[in-house]
Amino acid sequence: MAKSDDCVHILQGLLVFGNVVIGMCGIALTAECIYFVSNPHGLYPLLKATENSDINAAAWIGIFVGLALFALSILGIIGVIKASRTLLLVYIILMLITFAFEMASCITAAAHRDSLTPEHFQKQMLERYQKSEPANNSEVTKAWDELMLQNHCCGVKGPSDWQEYQSAFRLTHSDADYPWPRTCCVLDAQGLPVSLDGCKLGVPGYYNSNGCYDAISGPVNTHAWGVAWFGFAILCWIFCVLLGTMFYWSGIEY
């Protein structure tokens, strides 16, 4: 009898520990997703323009899942200590629902990340940058301008993007005056090109020759993998804790 008591106490202790970890991970997930949703790198307009901002939706789901995990972990700890069948049943069912939501968020973030290729951004930039008709293109234009100014880059793969393809930009800016946008030129303190002729000709040192894709894909990768893999790890842990809880629940007498 004493040995069985010990086993029960060990199981209770393990379940309480598991729930404490779940609670802390839930808080961490919420904090991480709030950080991503707050758009620290100014990339949200570019992702929204892709007509499915799934990574952002996954981050929003992550916020609520994290809070739910924290609340459920407290419920689980109370249920395990009081050995209450009702509380634990409620805990198990709600945890399953949260599991399903977090699963959807992980898969969405991972799948959407795969679709963000350089060609994807090239197409969006060429079709929307400096296009005046639908009003939401001004956000895309501003986002690209800020991206190019802050990271000293031009286009997605390079300034030759503007030469190899026609674009909405080309419709309003002639090729002779603007082989590529002025934001691709090296600018002085007043925001004017250091040498306009040098920039138009492509003289090294007077224009930004590298593409912006690295500046985009770095933060987007961190964002997507942060949501997807961290969520995956939490779900694996929840799986183990839930199995233990169900075993514990089935052993409780009425």
Q: Enumerate binding residues for other proteins (CB under 8 A).
A: 4, 7-8, 83, 92-93, 96, 99-100, 103, 106-107, 110-111, 113-115, 117, 119-120, 122-123, 126-127, 159-160, 163-167, 170, 174-177, 179, 197, 200-204, 207, 209, 228-229, 232, 235-236, 239, 242-243, 246, 249-254
Q: How far is the CB of 240 from other proteins (least distance, A)?
A: 10
Contact 50, 210 (CB under 8 A): no
Query: Is 133 or 189 the residue whose CB approaches other proteins more closely?
Result: 133
Q: What is the closest distance, in whole angstroms, from the C-beta atom of residue 93 to other proteins in the complex? A: 7
Return the number of the residue (13 or 38) whose C-beta is nearest other proteins.
13
Shortest distance in whole angstroms from residue 38 CB to other proteins: 25
Q: Which is nearer to other proteins, 73 or 122 (CB)?
A: 122
Q: C-alpha dihedral over 195, 200, 204, 210, to 10 degrees?
A: 120
| CA–CA distance, 163 with 179 (Å, rounded to integer) | 7
109 dihedral zone (left: phi>0; alpha: psi -120 to 50; beta): alpha
In the complex with other proteins, the residue whose CB is nearer, 63 or 80, is: 80
**Shortest distance, position 39 Cβ to other proteins, whole Å:** 23
Shortest gap between Cβ of 164 and other proteins (angstroms)? Answer: 6
Cβ contacts of 77 within 8 Å, gap of 6 or more: 16, 19, 20
In angstroms, the CA 9 to CA 6 distance is 5
| Closest to other proteins by CB, 38 or 253 | 253
